[in-house]
Amino acid sequence: MPSSTFRSGHMVSRRGILLGATAAGAALLMASRRGLAAAGRFANPLKVPALLEGTSGADGKVYELNVASGKSEFLSGISTPTLGINGAYLGPTIRCREGDRVTLRVRNNLTEPTTLHWHGLRLPAASDGGPHQVVEPGTVWEASFAIRQKASLCWYHSHLMEQTGEQVLRGLAGLFLIEDESGKSLPLPAEYGVDDIPLVIQDRRFNDDGSFDYDLGMHDVMMGYKGNVILVNGTVNPHVVLRRQRTRLRILNGSNSRIYTLGLDDGADLVVIGSDGGLLERPARLRRVRLGPGERIELLVDMPSDRSVRLMSYPDRVATGRMGPGMMMGGMAGNAERFPIIELRAQKPETADLSLPERLIQVPGWTAAQAARTRSFSLDMPMMGMGGMMMGAAGMGGAMGINGRAMDMDRVDERVSLGSVEIWQIRNTTPLAHPFHIHGVQFRTLDRNGRPPLPHEGGLKDTVLVDPDSTVRVITEFSDFADPRRPYMYHCHILEHEDAGMMGQFVVV
Ligand code: C2O
Ligand code: CU
Ligand code: CU
């Protein structure tokens, strides 16, 4: 076990998922220290974020989003200081329709600056909510734009320069649900919270006083923050009672860095119908689906009566076990454990139509021949040596960055011509997988190392996992929103990497 030197003593419990009982283990651990009653396995009913539909005004729908601090009880009897939007932790699910004109009114009631970025949305850079659209304490920032994309599960989160990881970890994230006409005409579950259930999966570490532990060491910055307690919609140790035979699960990996390899513990295939930017062309059946930070997946789960199934995360075979030259990294990536995420319980579900359309939608696409140009991006990490020390020497890597440069808010890295189709080629020579995300567009994955993308990656996406020693090519059209002064971001969605500089800026001109 190459990583054994790093996994001794308290590191195991600190870094490793509390296996078996998962979060119950943490609750037990913490509760036993305090003599409190411990929660049982899957004891807690899943919380479902409230819907925020907006109020109709003269200029479309207005959504009020109040960012504030609060206290949450994740572990029984233990209070955790958190941040939230219209609540103590996370935010409501913003719901709108294609064609809507929306105004998102963000009020910052914190004593620190923040931003809210609409991840996956096609919108002008001025409304993007990235590091340039800071909302100072006590002020209001409005983003107004038209919804110009198909039904999909997008999300929103803090994007404060160098503090995204911390603010998201404390709770500044929520879902952004877009609906459309074609989605309504397909026989798919669509009753929010009933047979259409969102799951925001996150991992956290707790300090003894109940607060979140985001005291980053070099290991966290390099490998990305890993927690040992799983939260689903802010629920520790969750179960959900399914009320219909067929349920749609819309899953966001809202974790700072953990990659989940999802599967069902009864061995049934996952039926994937959608990804980041909407439905797939046709359902894909897979035993396992890897989901990197920032990525979304939509599944259909059919359950007979009186059955319980657990949605699990399995060891990531891709991102673990590799050793770089003179390094010990692979096993340390920390995606090597098997643990349950949530228990799905069917009691006496209402029967539903269990037929499945062969074709779902027509996904827009572009051919390589249409591309005006290819841009290349290489992901850079300083290499880590024995004892977890960063190796500063040349040849052992420099700073965290893209194409040899760390993020600089005053430097625009790429200028894209309005209306052009481009291929972006992302090359990863580091020993870790990085989820690469582009703002303002939805893209298609052209290929991975020259081979076609995986079946569940065939739809529109805005975030794609780029595995160690591999190259992924994506293609998209920059069809709208020229603004030479306001950049969009592209970055690794491991938030510790983003905050450490693995991010760049582009303008559309
Ligand atoms: Cu999900 Cu630049 O962000
Ligand atoms: Cu984004
Ligand atoms: Cu990264």
Q: Which residues of 393-426 are buried (b: 16+ CB within 10 A; e: fewer)?
A: eeebbbbbbbeeebbeeeebbbebeeeebbbbbb
Distance 498 CA to ligand 3 centre (A): 7
Nearest ligand 1 atom to alpha carbon 463: 1
Please indicate whether residue 294, judged by its CB atom, sits closer than 6 Å to ligand 1. yes
**Phi, psi of 292, deg, nearest 5:** -85, 165
pLDDT tens digit sequence for 378-390: 999 987 544 444 5
CB of 437 closer than 6 angstroms to any ligand 1 atom? yes
CA distances (Å), 304 to each of 43, 93, 136, 248, in order? 21, 29, 51, 15
CA–centroid distance, 409 to ligand 1, in Å, is 15
The rounded distance, in Å, linking the Cα atoms of 186 and 283 is: 13
**Alpha carbon of 129 to ligand 2 centroid (Å):** 9
Closest ligand relative to 257 C-alpha: 3
Q: For position 324, what pLDDT does the model report?
A: 43
The minimum-distance atom of ligand 1 relative to the CA of 120 is 1
Q: Which atom of ligand 1 is nearest to the CA of 294?
A: 1
Q: Verify whether ligand 1 is closer than 6 Å to residue 296 (CB atom).
A: no
- Any idea which ligand is nearest the CA of 435? 3
- DSSP state string for 237-259: SEEEEEEESEEEEEEEE-SSSPP
Q: Distance, CA 440 to ligand 1 centroid (Å)? A: 10
Q: What atom of ligand 1 comes closest to residue 157's alpha carbon?
A: 1
Q: Which of 348, 14, 364 is nearest to 206 (CA)?
A: 14
Question: What pLDDT score was predicted for residue 325?
Answer: 39
Taking Cα atoms as reference points, which of 457, 428, 431 lies closest to residue 444? 457
Q: Give the pLDDT of residue 17.
A: 60
Contact 416, 479 (CB under 8 A): no
Locate the ligand 1 atom nearest the alpha carbon of residue 491 and give its number: 2
**127 CA distance to ligand 3 middle (Å):** 25
How far is Cα 382 from Cα 219, in angstroms, rounded to an integer? Answer: 12
H helices, E strands: number in the chain: 6, 33
- For ligand 1, whether the C-beta of 117 sits within 6 Å is yes
Q: Is the CB of 456 under 6 A from ligand 1?
A: no
How far, in Å, CA of 208 to CA of 448, rounded? Answer: 43
Q: For residue 438, how far is its CA from the centre of ligand 2 (angstroms)? A: 6
The verdict on the CB of residue 491 being under 6 Å from ligand 1 is yes
User: What pLDDT score does 315 carry?
Assistant: 93
Nearest listed ligand to the Cα of residue 491: 1
Positions of the chain with pLDDT lower than 50, given as ranges? 1-15, 19-25, 27-28, 30-39, 320-331, 385-389, 391-397
Question: What are 95's two structure tokens?
Answer: 């719901």
Closest ligand by atom to 490 CA: 1
Determine whether the shortest distance from the Cβ of 159 to ligand 1 is under 6 A. yes
**Ligand approaching nearest to the C-alpha of 505:** 1
Distance (Å) from CA 496 to ligand 3 centroid: 8
Residue 480: the pLDDT is 94
Cα distance between residue 261 and residue 23, in whole Å: 18
Q: How far is the CA of 116 from the centre of ligand 1 (A)?
A: 10
Q: What is the CA radius of gyration of the chain?
A: 22
Residue 394 CB partners (closer than 8 Å, separation 6+): none
Which protein residue has the closest C-alpha to ligand 1 atom 3?
Answer: 119
Cα 102 to ligand 3 centre (Å): 32
Cβ(489) – ligand 1 distance below 6 Å: yes
Q: Of 303, 256, 236, 264, whose CA–CA distance to 157 is shortest?
A: 256
- 439 CA closest ligand 1 atom index: 2
Q: How far is the CA of 457 from the centre of ligand 2 (A)?
A: 18
Q: Kindly give the number of the ligand 1 atom that is closest to the alpha carbon of 155.
A: 1
Ligand with an atom nearest the CA of residue 495: 3
| Atom 1 (ligand 1) nearest CA | 119
CA of 462 to the centre of ligand 2 (A): 8
* Residues in CB range of 252: below 8 A, 6 or more apart: 153, 155, 175, 198, 199, 200, 201, 295, 296
